[in-house]
Structure 1
Amino acid sequence: MTSSDVHRSGFACFVGRPNAGKSTLTNRLVGSKVAITSSKPQTTRHAIRGIVHRPDAQLIIVDTPGLHRPRTLLGRRLNDLVYETWSEVDVVGFCVPADQKVGPGDKFIAEQLKKVARRTPVLGIVTKTDLVPKEQVAQQLLDLQQVMDFADLVPVSAVDSFQVDVLSDLLVQQLPEGPQLYPDGELTDEPETTLIAELIREAALEGVRDELPHSLAVTVEEMIPREDRDDLIDVHAVVYVERQSQKSIVIGKGGERLRAVGTQARKHIQALLGSKIYLDLHVKVAKDWQRDPRQLRKLGF
């Protein structure tokens, strides 16, 4: 077998501070929206798997929540999810945005990654290079190099696809030889209900005050084809908040804000399912759910 006949398959994950561009990069590599993106930090709450199909490899990217100093039980569980993922993948990509100086949060993550790097290669990735001049990208690469020893360093931009193919090659080089793990055409192994809940949460996150994002959770209660129509699916979902005042914010004056959330989410859900949908959205209060183990379990954490 020649080197060109070798097929590799395995798992990679991106880590970094909240809002370092991990989800956008995952979606760009996969070529489809499998992870929600938002300008709000700590948006990702599940380890979403996106599948990259190449003739020479199958790369499964696990998009993890941003590592942070937790203030709630939810925060601690999200951090545990990140550490657990690190121990299971073949290569880790450490994402640092080009438009923010390497700071204490990055150095904290690097210290944790040094323990992993003994057995798992770690790539340094400078993201969001489209936001700054080339000189600043070069300086960021030099600064990142001082933080730890990387198997490789690469600057990328998911927005304009700059060097995304180079990153894909570098990740694949670190994978073991092996057959496909998922069928052709499959882009994620997440249940549709999880992806739909995430798309609704993404729509609900846009334009809300900074303290609200962490208090939002979404569950899909039911998803059934309409009895008298074969081209329509009824989706019943609930947006949970922690306080009555937050419920008013999500619903908006006369229900205007919730209707806008539904309109935006419906567009993405229809693209995901390839079918028209009727989206029935309700908002409920689950008091202090981020700190309540019973409610966290109910909401899937």
Structure 2
Amino acid sequence: MKYGIIGAGAMGYRYGILLQENAGVQVDFIETWKPNIEKVREQGGVYVSRDHENKHLVPINIFYPEEYKGHPDVWIIFKKQMQLKEEMKRDSEAGIFHDDQYVFSAMNGMGHFEVIEKYFDKDKIVCGTAMIATVLNGPGDVDFMGPVNSEVMHLAPYNNKKPDETVKALFDDLKAAKLGPVVSNNWVNMCMTKVVFNAVVNTLCTMFEVQMGQFIQYPKAPEMARQLFNESFDACERAGIYMDETRDEQVQSVIDTCHTLKYHYPSMYQDFSKGRDTEVDYINGYIAKLGREHDYICRTHEFVVNQVHLVEQMRQFK
């Protein structure tokens, strides 16, 4: 199949380049950040490293939405939650979406599928999560973190039906790309499993400006994780959401992932460190909102949301 990547950022590059190189499929990148597009065109592609080594240039096709005339079978969307509504509106007005196209997204947080649903048929939306660490060093320069074949991701149809032939073909291409896909049978449970993980690692590492390996060295880190997980699970269970991992498994996942990616700064920290707004409202904030909607107050999550926004605001005084 042919793919179009909306958002040539860290994860967009990783999915598109691995599909292009390992699965041998055609990939086009749609981008709206001018410095990124112009740098890629100037240097003839994107520079790719893995764990800061073997930096090399990979030629890619990159377009502004308004100049794109292609017709992918599947769109893959990786934008920041705060940017998605504007991105989808611009892409739609550019006329790049078509009724026969499918769309897949494994963005962080929750709320994006409700936006995507305004532009695509529910039966053609595929939800995803990705336990894949990637860093965008700058325009046209990306670093894949973790060893080759360490990628793990999940996907599930938005309609919670069995995968149709296109979804199966998408799975096969993701597998050939060595992105480690696993099919889940309930997209909400699947996505919330990742959201509550990010609500620990992304947020706490950002608050204290530490790498994942540095965070897990603190003896009480698993206890901090469990406190946040307990609130997340309590809120989700009241909402009828039952995640793919148990509370104990989630705590162990934090421990294992932080040791594996010990030198990695999560994506929320990458945004914060570059002066951008974070996605905390779509992660911890989403969990807190879900809790209040079901008569449960996630006090710790609400506290850390305010803490992250506080440190964002305090940057003006530095």
TM-score by length of 1: 0.27
- Larger helix proportion, structure 1 or 2? 2
- Larger strand proportion, structure 1 or 2? 1
Rg larger for: 1
Specify which structure has the bigger relative contact order, considering alpha-carbon pairs within 8 angstroms and separated by 6 or more residues. Answer: 1
